[in-house]
Amino acid sequence: MPGTTRLLPLALVVLLGSLTWLLDRAASLPGSAVAINANQPDMLVDKATAVRFGEDGRPLSLLTATHVSHLPAGDITWLENPHLRYTAPDQPRLEVTGERAKSIKQGSEVWFPGVVKMVRSASATQAELTINGRDMRVLPQEGLASSEAPAIAVMGTYVIESVGFIADSKAETLELKSKVRMSYEPIRTR
């Protein structure tokens, strides 16, 4: 699973980059003569879609959300039903979905309260990996993702359960904090 721990924060960095671009575009809209209350949203977007392209012009990531709102106090962006699809060349597709996501200070920290699901497609050497968890905190610049909540990872015939984890993409490690259980059922060759 070390390759997967490296991709999750990378996908989230792409998500945050897309959000930063979206906020930059919204900030360039003509100003209003009305004073802004810092505790009220200064941007509301329904059915948002952001695409990031590579140097060759092919899409690298697609971010969709049913609703996006930005609060000037604390530079906080909320996304409802965020779905990120990351499709880098020569890498398996990575998809991250959640109920909500909270981006703080232009994406320096992202919190996914509620249910979060990450799916890395199968590659030539590894089976598909699915991680189901909740209440995930991501620090993209440090390459860290963590949760104190129960999580289940499924890869091929392996199923791993734990309460809490820390994924470090720079060190390529996945630390399972407590109550770790793993099951494996060999593939029958008949």
Q: What is the pLDDT of residue 107?
A: 65
Q: What is the pLDDT of residue 138?
A: 75
Q: What is the gyration radius of the CA atoms in the chain, in angstroms?
A: 18
The yes-or-no verdict on residue 117 having pLDDT over 70 is yes
Cβ proximity of 48 and 84 under 8 Å: no
* pTM for this model (two decimals): 0.67
Cβ proximity of 130 and 159 under 8 Å: no
CA 101: distance to chain centroid? 8
22 Cβ partners below 8 Å, 6+ apart?
45, 48, 50, 68
Segment holding 74, helix H or strand E: none
Domain ranges of the chain: 2-28+42-184
26-44: average pLDDT: 68
The yes-or-no verdict on residue 33 having pLDDT over 50 is no
Cβ proximity of 1 and 162 under 8 Å: no
Q: Distance between CA 112 and CA 78 in Å, rounded? A: 10
Higher pLDDT, 182 or 120: 182
Q: Distance between CA 73 and CA 190 in Å, rounded? A: 62
Q: How far is CA 95 from CA 18, 61, 116, 154, in A?
A: 15, 10, 11, 15
Average pLDDT over all residues of the chain: 79
Q: What is the pLDDT of residue 190?
A: 66
Q: What is the pLDDT of residue 94?
A: 75
Summarize pLDDT for 60-83 with one digit per residue, the tens: 777 789 999 988 888 888 999 988
Note the maximum CA span of the chain.
74
The yes-or-no verdict on residue 58 having pLDDT over 90 is no
Q: What is the pLDDT of residue 2?
A: 55
In the CATH scheme, what is the code of domain 2-28+42-184? 2.60.450.10
Q: How far is CA 23 from CA 76, 77, 81, in A?
A: 11, 9, 18
132-143: average pLDDT: 79
Q: What is the pLDDT of residue 170?
A: 61
101-114: average pLDDT: 80
